Amino acid sequence: MAAWDLSVAVEDLGADAPPITVSVTSDLHIGGVILKLVEKSQVKRDWSDHALWWEQKQQWLLRTAWTLEKCGIQADAGLIFMPQHKPLRLGLPNGLNLRLRVCFSGTVFRTVLGICKMLSEFRNQLLYFLFPISLFSHQHNKGIHNLPYDLLKVLMSRPCLYNGMPAHFADSPKTEKVYKMLSVSQPAPAPEAIAKLYHPASVVDKAHIHSRWLDSSRSLMEQGVQENDRLWLRFKYYCFHDLEPKYDAVRLTQMYEQARWAILLEDIDCTEEEMLLFGAIQYHINKLSLSEPQTMTSSPAMDDLDSALQCLEVKLDGANSSPQDMLENLTAPELNDYLKIFRPKRLTLKGYKQYWFKFKDASISYYKSKEESLGEPIQQINLKGCEAAPDVNVAGQKFCIKLLIPAPEGMNEVYLRCENEEQYSSWMAACRLASKGKSLADSSFQSEVQSIRSFLAMQQTNPNTHTDDSMSINTHSLVSPRYSKKYKTKQLTPRILEAYQNVAQLSLTDALLRFLQIWQALPDFGISLVVVRFKGSRKDEVLGITPNRLIRIDLGVGEVVKTWRYNNMRQPVNQTIKMFTFFCTQSPLVAIEFDGNVNIAFSCVTADCKIVHEFIGGYIFMSTRSREQSDTLNEELFHKLTGGHEAL
């Protein structure tokens, strides 16, 4: 049994204080070392939050029952005895800076959950993740709120509301002010300030942003984050569950702010019509936020952006069903009409061609003409599991539906063109239901049609409408720099005010939800980009990671080459949860196996392979959750799904 003197620096004694030397043996456990340090320091205080940090190895010694020999600690080990919770500065999506005490020794996963609870997240939600801002600090240090709001003394309370806010924010006028800043949208800065912020100029720039996410399975200290460093707190996964405006005012507002800045900084593309509508809703939200404080209430239209319609269907299915209704449902209704179809991979040079279409159950069939619809169709397309995205320009009378159809080799692209809004609303609603495996007989079909019609109505303008707000609107703070350069204020103002008339009657909660709904409907919504090089290829390409599929994108022209859906990933026998394996070698190389003997492998160029693991595994983890499980998070399962082959 070896014995030696071990020198340990105690952070609380100051940087100039000499280290404390204690006599130890190889079989002494970590807890024994801590006990000797406390006794020799002769400082009476609460040491329960302190732990040993091994500077050379960049790791915490948290297993107090392990011996020094088992940990590999020798006399030359540079140990520091320090608190596990330290101040950290967080930059929120609305530009607000907070300073609060967080855990530096636990995994980032647990640290983020603690932050979410502090910011009034009553249910455990995998919503935010952290990444350093040093890459863009010279731009973002010129943000809206540079001085941090201090929450170091805020003590967590049991989840309950007091005066409409979490009880731990109601302790003082100062903390109440901070909560209001968190839960109320902030005015947009001047156009000059927006122009100085970081704008990704290319796909590669967007990919570099996603290379900064911290590893959720390691602690902040292990990833080089120090006390009082500043991190961004952002939504990483574009799956928003169980949104309750009454309790999630902070979450809803921060979601809106992240979406708004994605639009203003051109992180996501949108049409001119959509930009004007976004500007009109922003203007409406700014007006309501500056008026008397409003309490967030549940929207009658939807309490959850992703699952409101599904909940409605569950309530209606089987309820109040008469025998006559059940008899009618035995014969599912159909849609029949002339539409135009375009298949880019097959008819690249021919464009759209008109056929007679029939929609029945969850599939569409098309024929040369209406007269031939009694015979065999030219083709029948099963839409179950497909992706249906809008491609609409109301002013230009363009009403198209972009379909991504699952296929063994990936996803096939098909475009349907409708003649008018009525036709588009019905067929788009049918395609969305079919993608979930539902027919036109489903109880939510009409509500889906009405939702689409209201969305189209919001994009219509009324040039004869007059308003007295033209002098108070700052149009260039409501649109991206691209449109600020393209149009003068006197050109933008009337167009934004025309769109504003369609949203002027919305409440604050409904306006926030409507903005997020339109954001979610954008074709590029929820795509996180990473530059990769596929095995066997000599050029770099882009991998787009979405909530339900991977997209291979040509870096030169920006076109989609191939797609793979997560539900086609190979899963072991007798597993109820879809599992998959990443093989991360020294290359490093990521390999994924799909059903049908389809395998892909690639190396990551702009990000660590662990970031790709966390995106894909995180989305699969989110898909396993249900409303009954919304109050708990299985951290072990999350790390198992996101850890690659080392975890499996």
**Band of the pLDDT at 263, cuts 50, 70, 90?**
very high
> Can you tell me the distance from the alpha carbon of 612 to that of 504, in angstroms, rounded to the nearest whole number?
42
Chain position carrying tokens 């003649």:
419
Average pLDDT over residues 609-632: 79
DSSP run (H or E) holding 24: strand 20-25
> Can you tell me the distance from the alpha carbon of 648 to that of 642, in angstroms, rounded to the nearest whole number?
10
> Can you tell me the distance from the alpha carbon of 298 to that of 579, in angstroms, rounded to the nearest whole number?
36
Chain position carrying tokens 């204080």:
17
> Can you tell me the distance from the alpha carbon of 58 to that of 549, in angstroms, rounded to the nearest whole number?
36
* Half-sphere CA count of 88, side-chain side, radius 13 A: 26
Q: What is the DSSP string of 144-183?
A: S--SPEE-TTPPP--S-EETTEEGGGSSSHHHHHHHHHHH
DSSP run (H or E) holding 511: helix 508-520
CB 630 within 8 A of CB 240: no
Instruction: Return the pLDDT at 161.
Output: 66
Considering the entire predicted model, what is its pTM?
0.79
Fold of 337-439: PH-domain like (2.30.29)
Instruction: Return the pLDDT at 70.
Output: 93
Residue 611 has pLDDT above 50, yes or no: yes
**Band of the pLDDT at 339, cuts 50, 70, 90?**
very high
CB 30 within 8 A of CB 64: yes
CB 519 within 8 A of CB 259: yes
Residue 264 has pLDDT above 80, yes or no: yes
pLDDT digit string (tens) for 93-137?
888 888 989 999 999 999 988 888 888 654 555 556 666 654 444
Chain position carrying tokens 């935010």:
128
pLDDT digit string (tens) for 478-505?
998 888 888 888 889 988 998 898 888 8
Instruction: Return the pLDDT at 97.
Output: 87
**Options 3.10.20.90, 2.40.33.20, 3.30.70.1170, 3.40.630.10; CATH of 3-83:** 3.10.20.90
Residue 36 has pLDDT above 70, yes or no: yes
Instruction: Return the pLDDT at 566.
Output: 87
Share the mean pLDDT of the chain.
80
**Domain residue ranges in the chain:** 3-83, 86-267, 337-439, 528-646
Considering only CA atoms, which of 274, 253, 259, 189 is closest in space to residue 476? Answer: 189
Topology agreement, domain 337-439 and domain 528-646: yes
Q: Does domain 528-646 match CATH 2.30.29.30? A: yes
Q: What is the DSSP string of 554-567?
A: -TTT--EEEEEEGG
Where does residue 362 rank: exposed (0-12), middle (13-18), buried (19+ CB within 10 A)?
A: buried
Beta bridge partner(s), residue 130 = 233
Average pLDDT over residues 146-154: 71
pLDDT digit string (tens) for 362-411?
899 999 999 998 889 999 999 988 888 888 888 788 899 998 887 766 67
324: left (phi over 0), alpha (psi -120 to 50) or beta: alpha
